[in-house]
A and B are shown apart, each in its own frame.
Chain A
Amino acid sequence: MREETEVIVVGAGPSGLSVGACLRSRGISFEILERSGEVGSSWRNHYERLHLHTVQRFSALPGMPWPPGTPTYPSRAQMVAYLDAYARDFELHPRFGEDVRSARREDGGFVLRTEANEYHTRALVVATGYNRVPNIPTWPGEASFGGSILHSSRYKNGDPWRGKRVLVVGAGNSGAEIALDLWEHGAKPALSVRGPVHVVPRDLTGVPSQLSSLFLFSRLPPKVADAISLFALDRLLGDLTPYGFTRPKLGPISQVIVEKRIPLIDVGTLELVKQGQIDVVKDVRSFSPGEVHFVDGTTRPFDAVVLATGYRTGISDYFEDAEGWLDERGYPRYFGEPVPGAPGLFFIGFRNPLTGALHDIAVEAERVANYLAGEKR
């Protein structure tokens, strides 16, 4: 079936829903296409222990504060309930099961194809998030390993792994928290740290790091902010090199701004690493039956491996000629503003600044809606 619309929003996560709510309040007609059967599908599928790393007061979507009784860091389940309520209150009815297989520019607008339908739209908002496609690296000998190897997107909790030796590959936020979750469930986890990483406690002496970032670091030159934060981290955490964490050359604030990489926000893993409860190991080189070999020449036996190796946006998988708008890692170069040379095209929710992804989405959604309202007039 062929449909003509004013605006298409792809994705019914926090970004897509926010844009929908902002468009509705400006009286602009739109359709939201969602490949799964529910809103916020990434949040539904994340591991159970996950909480927002950012403060709820600064993580609300446009037009709807978190309900009373919500803790400072809402849980995954609370986030899902919040997104359900958001869609309900703003009467957002995404078209579910509509997986955009291809998208291209045509005659100053856009043509999108799903399995059953073709959509012609004047404006397109891509809100598919940075969690669309799991990154699954491969290593020599993997097939012979024998134990299960699963991506973090399929990890729910540590219950099935009690008493098991589990290697978690990747020391991002998921990897570190999954290692902690495994330990709490009675497993014996090791964390494979693949490169240099900054470690920041979620709360700096009781105050959420997001608040310090919002009020201090976003107003200082990055070099100064780096120096202040490194000074504080040295005193709070000490030297982490003996535990296997090496520090990147770039400071934590610059890294967020220049490389768009957020630091490891520690929710308790570090305390267990320091006590020798969770081992930190090097990058994986290869597998053999029941064993993993590391780049430093060591070999250790494991029963299972969790790949906390992140995701990619997967935009270029379906969007023709999108490369020009994307950086080398596949993230859009333009946020909440018109893409040069592609009028009507917007990307939202693809960055994760220190001030928090949801805070950013809320700001961007209003801007995108304003641009679209301005164009209409």
Chain B
Amino acid sequence: MAELDHWHPVLFADELGKKPAPVRVCDRELVVFRASNGQATLGALADVCPHRGMRLSEGRVEGGRLVCPYHGWSFAPDGEGKSPATPAARPCADAFEVVERYGLIWIKRRGVDAAFPALDVSGYHFIGKTRHRAEAPLEVTLDNFIEVEHTPEVHALLGYPRERMAEVTCEVTSTERSVRVYNEGPQKALPRPLYSLLQIETGDSFVDDWTTWFSPVYTVYDQYWFDPATGQRRPNALRIAIFFVPVTAGQTDIFALSYALAAPWERYGLNAFAYLLTRAFVVMELRRDVTLLGKLADKSPELRGRTLSRFDKPLGLARKRIESIYRGRG
């Protein structure tokens, strides 16, 4: 399988209105549109008219069809085209499968039977969705998200304290399809009011337990706290799914869907307020990641020749699976 044989998020669903939207994914330029015939049908086509090469994203939607702004040729979501001036012509645009789920628009190539990324958020409560663009290749971007060694330097709230990094455990397990990393260590000191808001105590242990999958490339994080003396878990936990979408060879979009365990209606709405802050934290921490990634001197995904730490084991495991599962090589 090749990259576009897997489902990729390309847009927030609420960004796609009546107008067609251009998107770039895996170095392909596509146009996504919503039918205006009252149906919930979506279409995704190569963003170029097969007639004379116009950008279809400059066109308009009429009923269930996308109309080219140049000569008025129109295309159905399956690519079937009509030319008003040449009724006998049977033009065909390059069509992709498209679906709206979890508040995102997803696309993949037609005719391949890829599974939709598994994301069990039943019983979790949606906090928010974010998108950031890293000026780095897919592998190098993913690297940043599958080790915690960078958290004391890069992050304000997420992760572990610098002076106690040596205590942080890092257990890596893998299957043919996934790489799981379990980190456990002391929670970094936080501003005082956050403890009660997040329902945690000073001295709590923080667990960052994630699994990375490769069809498409995404990581689902379970983050929670417990009392190290009793092992008792704190009431809240976060589940964050991050999808890594190559835009070009050197750019990667990061779509994050964040969920909380604690229901917003609990604690008289205080949780709803905690959601707002959590969403802001996720945005802030992701911005720090992508800013840093943009400053890398060497963005080559090659790991050979580098000196690696005890936290870097997942990087090599992920490389192999990106090659075999995501890119379908070897």
A residues in contact (CB < 8 Å) with B: 51-52, 56, 67-75, 158, 162-163, 183-187, 206-207, 211, 267-268, 271-272, 274-277
Say whether B290 faces chain A, with CB atoms less than 8 Å apart.
Answer: no
Say whether B309 faces chain A, with CB atoms less than 8 Å apart.
Answer: no
Check B122 against A184 for contact (C-beta < 8 Å): no
What separation, in Å, do the CA atoms of A185 and B101 have in the docked complex? Answer: 15
Say whether B163 faces chain A, with CB atoms less than 8 Å apart.
Answer: no
For the complex with contacts A162-B113, A186-B116, A211-B265, 13 further pairs of A-B residues with Cβ separation under 8 Å are A52-B123, A69-B237, A71-B123, A75-B120, A75-B123, A184-B118, A185-B116, A186-B115, A207-B265, A268-B101, A272-B101, A274-B39, A275-B100
Kindly list chain B residues whose C-beta atoms are within 8 Å of the C-beta of A276. 39-41
Say whether B261 faces chain A, with CB atoms less than 8 Å apart.
Answer: yes
**CB pairs A–B below 8 angstroms (16 shown):** A52-B123, A68-B234, A69-B233, A71-B123, A72-B123, A72-B124, A73-B123, A75-B120, A75-B123, A184-B118, A186-B116, A187-B113, A271-B101, A274-B39, A275-B41, A276-B41
What separation, in Å, do the CA atoms of A272 and B97 have in the docked complex? Answer: 13
Kindly list chain B residues whose C-beta atoms are within 8 Å of the C-beta of A74. 123
Check B115 against A185 for contact (C-beta < 8 Å): yes
What separation, in Å, do the CA atoms of A274 and B35 have in the docked complex? Answer: 12
Kindly list chain B residues whose C-beta atoms are within 8 Å of the C-beta of A162. 113, 115
Known contacts: A72-B263, A186-B113. The answer to whether A271 contacts B122 by CB under 8 A is no
Nearest residue, chain A, Cβ from B101:
A271
Shortest 5 CB-CB distances between A and B: which pairs?
A: A71-B123, A73-B123, A163-B113, A274-B40, A186-B113
Question: How extensive is the interface on chain B, given as a class?
Answer: 20 to 34
A74 to chain B, nearest CB (A): 7
What separation, in Å, do the CA atoms of A158 and B235 have in the docked complex? Answer: 33
Interface string of B85-103 (1 = CB under 8 A from A): 0000000000000011100
Q: Which residues B247-284 have CB closer than 8 A to chain A? A: 261, 263-265
Check A272 against B124 for contact (C-beta < 8 Å): no
Kindly list chain B residues whose C-beta atoms are within 8 Å of the C-beta of A207. 265
Check B115 against A275 for contact (C-beta < 8 Å): no
Interface of B is mostly: loop
Kindly list chain B residues whose C-beta atoms are within 8 Å of the C-beta of A275. 40-42, 99-100
Check B100 against A271 for contact (C-beta < 8 Å): yes
Number of A-B contacts (CB under 8 A): 68
A268 to chain B, nearest CB (A): 7
What separation, in Å, do the CA atoms of A187 and B126 have in the docked complex? Answer: 27
What separation, in Å, do the CA atoms of A71 and B264 have in the docked complex? Answer: 12
What separation, in Å, do the CA atoms of A74 and B261 have in the docked complex? Answer: 11
Check B122 against A71 for contact (C-beta < 8 Å): yes
Nearest residue, chain B, Cβ from A51:
B122
Say whether B232 faces chain A, with CB atoms less than 8 Å apart.
Answer: yes
What separation, in Å, do the CA atoms of A296 and B265 have in the docked complex? Answer: 46
Residue from A71, A163, A274 in contact with B261 in the complex, judged by beta carbons closer than 8 Å: A71
What separation, in Å, do the CA atoms of A275 and B113 have in the docked complex? Answer: 18
Say whether B165 faces chain A, with CB atoms less than 8 Å apart.
Answer: no
Say whether B299 faces chain A, with CB atoms less than 8 Å apart.
Answer: no
Kindly list chain B residues whose C-beta atoms are within 8 Å of the C-beta of A268. 101
Nearest residue, chain B, Cβ from A164:
B113
Say whether B172 faces chain A, with CB atoms less than 8 Å apart.
Answer: no
Say whether B33 faces chain A, with CB atoms less than 8 Å apart.
Answer: no
Check B123 against A183 for contact (C-beta < 8 Å): no
Nearest residue, chain B, Cβ from A276:
B41
B236 to chain A, nearest CB (A): 9
What separation, in Å, do the CA atoms of A69 and B261 have in the docked complex? Answer: 7
Check B99 against A272 for contact (C-beta < 8 Å): yes
Nearest residue, chain A, Cβ from B232:
A68
Say whether B114 faces chain A, with CB atoms less than 8 Å apart.
Answer: yes
What separation, in Å, do the CA atoms of A96 and B263 have in the docked complex? Answer: 38
Check B122 against A73 for contact (C-beta < 8 Å): yes
Check B265 against A56 for contact (C-beta < 8 Å): no
What separation, in Å, do the CA atoms of A126 and B116 have in the docked complex? Answer: 42
Interface centre among B116, B123, B233, B237 (most CB of A within 10 A): B123
What separation, in Å, do the CA atoms of A186 and B101 have in the docked complex? Answer: 15
Kindly list chain A residues whose C-beta atoms are within 8 Å of the C-beta of B123. 51-52, 56, 70-75
Kindly list chain B residues whose C-beta atoms are within 8 Å of the C-beta of A206. 125-126, 264
Check A75 against B122 for contact (C-beta < 8 Å): yes
Residue from A56, A71, A267 in contact with B124 in the complex, judged by beta carbons closer than 8 Å: A71
What separation, in Å, do the CA atoms of A72 and B263 have in the docked complex? Answer: 7
